[in-house]
Every structure is written in structure tokens, then in C-alpha cells.
Amino acid sequence: MTRKFAIQSANQNRFPAFHPAGRAGASFKPQHFDAIKAEPTSVGFLEIHAENYMGAGGPPHAVLSEIRTLLPVSLHGVCMSIGGLDPIDPEHLSRFANLVERYEPFKVSEHLAWSTHDDVFFNDLLPLPYTDETLKRVCEHIDQVQEAIGRPMLLENPSTYVLFSESSWNETDFLREIVKRTGCGLLLDINNVFVSATNHGFSATEYLAEFPLEHVGEVHLAGHDEQEDDEGAPLLIDSHDRPVADPVWSLYETVIEQCGPIDTLVEWDSDVPDWPILRSEAIAAERILDRHRGRQQNVKRHALHS
């Protein structure tokens, strides 16, 4: 299903309407503001977590307003509880929609997960059973979000640590069906793929071969923590507190080689380093994007002259 959304805003084009066009970006942390301001073109875009900016004003908004004049911004929600049993909190959704209107992000995304139940908030992104009932609920919630923000959103694949025996869909088919029913796009988190594949013993490469890559509007990369479970088997945690691991870089290059340049975000949310370290991770992604951007251009030139 293809849906059209009319973005209605009295504030449209208050900020530059630039787009990163297949570049690499980084998570925005306020401690990096001065360094970014001094050299804004060192990254393609910045991502902000919506929940950090749901107050009406103050220093966070002053800083973000200035950043938004320098760079494109993507808005990433972490508390919408798209997969929750309860209805989406209307006040939270209203604040989220207000941020979309206020800052005109070039991408808006949330997670295939849940984090609230019976007025209790869990500080985590919890997994879902992939059933027909879950599918219906997730799609209803995505429709509600997209109606509120007046545009399609991107839905991120989860990192998981448990599987549900009642699941009747595999994850890639579940995501493909969500796109079909709602018209949303996908945010492919490659670190999440690697974490889940390691934890559950399946092939990350085979998973990506089945993933609906044609609907991916953004890619996430991040670091993970390596632990062991009670039986000594590898257990990876999507910690966002260190550089991207080599196997994740390898999977990323495979995806970009197949799809061409896609807006790519390097996440780093805990034990945040100085800006040059985070920027170097984004630059590493940029090199991969540039390499395959060049190949795409060569193919196009060859096609024009053949």
C-alpha cells in the first residue's frame, strides 16, 4: 500500500531544507556542540533522540536550533512503544509531532519494540512475538504516528536476546508486511542484526539477504558489548558505548555494495568519547559510501555511452 501524507506546518522552511543525500552522520551530544559548530561539514547530518527535547524551551532547544541551521537533523524516538499492548500515549505523541513540526527533520524513526505497560515505563526496548495480533497492533500504532506527524516514518529492526515460541512470522517477513500495510520505511540497524544473529545462532548474512532492503531509508551502526550467558555461549549487548566492530563494518559494506549509498548514522550513547573519535567513525562510514558512490557513477556513465 502506498500512502500519501500532507505535511501541514505554519513553520515549514524556517530552517535550510538540505538533505545529506547518502552521507554519514553521528549522534548529537551537547558536549560536542562547539566542535561541530567549528567544522559542521565534517559530518553529513546529526541524529537527536526525541525524548531529550520534549520540554518547551531552554538551553537544549537553543542549542538544537543553532545546530539545525548548520546541518540536517534526523529525529529518532526511543519511547513511543510502537509494539506495546496499550494505546500510544497521546501526550507523548503530541510532543513528538511538535518536534517534527518545529525542527523539520529529514528523517523520523522509531523502534519495533515496546517499553510501557499499565502506566509503567521500562527503560529498555523490549522484543515482541511476531504474530498476526502483534502485526495488527503495530500497524495501527504506526498509522497513528504517521497521521500525527504528517509523513512516513522509518521503523528500526530490534536487537533481541530472547525468542518467542508463539511467533508465526520470521522477522524479515514481519517487517516487509508492516511496510506493505502502513507505507512506512525501514531503518536497518546492522549492529542489531549482528547482535541478534550471534545471540540466537543464525547467519547475519542470510538475514540480510532476506531483508526488504528496497525499503531502507537509513542505516544505523554502533558498538556492542561482548559477554557470555550462564552456559558460556556468546551473548552480545547492543550497548552503543564503543567503536563499530569489524564484522559489522563488513556487513555494512555488503549492504552498501548492493544498495548504493544510504544515509548512515553512527550511534554512540554511553561512555561518549570526544568528538574527534565519534567523527572518525562517521568518516569510516563515509569512505565506504564514497567508494560505492563512485562505482555507481561509473556504472551510470557506462550505461549512457553503451
Q: Note whether residue 113 is domain-resident.
A: yes
Phi, psi at 194, each rounded to 5°:
-65, -40
The domain total for the chain is 1
Give pLDDT, residue 56.
85
Q: Which range marks the domain in which residue 181 is found?
A: 24-305
Angle (nearest 5°) at CA 85 between 56 and 269? 50
- Chain center to CA of 194: 15
Residues 53-91: b if buried by 16+ CB within 10 A, e if exposed = bbeeeeeeeeebeebbebbbbbbbbbbbbbbbeeebbee
Residue 180: count other Cβ atoms within 10 Å of its Cβ. 14
d(CA 54, CA 99): 7
Give pLDDT, residue 138.
96
d(CA 190, CA 199): 14
Q: Note whether residue 128 is domain-resident.
A: yes
Residues of the chain where predicted confidence (pLDDT) is lower than 70 = 1-13, 114-126, 294-306
d(CA 29, CA 267): 11
Give pLDDT, residue 122.
44
Give pLDDT, residue 3.
57
Give pLDDT, residue 151.
97
Give pLDDT, residue 256.
97
Half-sphere exposure of 192 (CA within 13 A, CB side): 18
d(CA 151, CA 100): 10
d(CA 160, CA 192): 8
Q: Note whether residue 176 is domain-resident.
A: yes
Give pLDDT, residue 69.
96
DSSP-assigned beta bridge partners for residue 187: 156, 218
Whether residue 64 contacts residue 46, with contact meaning beta carbons closer than 8 Å, is answered with no
On the 0-12 / 13-18 / 19+ scale of CB atoms within 10 A, 242 is: middle
Give pLDDT, residue 230.
75
CATH code where residue 217 lies: 3.20.20.150
pTM: 0.90
